[in-house]
Amino acid sequence: MRVAVIDLGTNTFNLLVADVHTTGFDIVHNSKEGVALGMGGINEGIISDEAMERAFQAFEKFKQTCRSLEVKTIVGIGTSAVRDAGNKAEFLHEIKKRFDLDIEIVDGLEEAKLIYQGVSWSYEFDKSSLIMDIGGGSTEFIRIETGKELEFISANIGVSRAVQLFSLGDPLTRENKNQLIAWFEENSKELENFRSCEVLVGASGSFETFYEMVHEEAFPNMLQNIRIPRAELIDTLDWIIDSTSEQRENHPFIIPIRRKMAPIAALKTKWVMEKFGIKEVVISPCSLKEGVLRRFF
């Protein structure tokens, strides 16, 4: 069965086309569009007209790709920016009218579960591990330890929310960093129930950018997880946190949609690593969209 999954992220829309069989799946196509659905309204609980138009343009490209690849089944998943929008009914109605596509809106807990199921394709969790998926509207955390129940948290500390909530300097000032960390802490209090972890598993997205910056090469196109040296990652995170917008603009491995929000993503990652005593870092190429594929087994 050839299946397409469209992940309507707050910053990026992702399209995955895969041939699903009895033991797994084979990737046919994988692409993303920088939509910035949450810009101009996520903290007010709306999707702006401009953001909707960018979304429709992305859907036009994705539908064309699906037609050319003869996809019969398309699943659309709406996450933080969509679920929190007071005008989501209008947005979803317009998608249905223009593209004949129904969008399933998942809550934060279901989003975290799908992320876990996706990462499970590439990682065996042989040590106490914390999955982190940095989104524009929310950030999901999943703690895994052998013999214990999975723990899921979705916190509204997404990078798009932060960049629109705070008046941030260029580069970030010490006060900015303290404000952001206090905001992370205040809006993710459930993390206090999580014990320390040996391994941080970064779920695609920003973590792929971190990999590319450390290694100065494109993230490998495969379904295997990749370990990244902790010290080199910390050096890269520090550079991003203290960088100017001009420096990020000129960096060849920071894609346009991430340039403005990269310091927040980097600061959050370093905060988590320190908070949980992380010793190793693994990057998984899989996340929510790969988790959705498990529904077809």
Label residue 186 left, alpha or beta by phi (over 0 means left) and psi (-120 to 50 means alpha). Answer: alpha
For 116-173, give the DSSP string. Answer: HHHHTTT----S-EEEEEE-SS-EEEEEE-TTS--EEEEES--HHHHHHHS---SS--
Chain segment 184-238, per-residue pLDDT in tens = 999 999 999 999 999 999 999 999 999 999 999 999 988 889 999 999 999 999 9
Q: Give the residue among 48, 64, 66, 58 at the shortest CA–CA distance from 5.
A: 66
The set of residues, in sequence order, having a beta carbon less than 8 Å from that of 237 and lying 6+ positions away, is: 210, 266, 267, 269, 270
Amino acid at 158: G
Evaluate if residue 297 carries a pLDDT over 90.
Answer: no
pLDDT of residue 222: 83
pTM of the model: 0.96
Residue labelled with tokens 């539908």? 63
Mean pLDDT score, 93-113: 98
pLDDT of residue 223: 84
Chain segment 145-181, per-residue pLDDT in tens = 998 999 999 999 999 999 999 999 999 999 999 999 9
d(CA 107, CA 95): 20
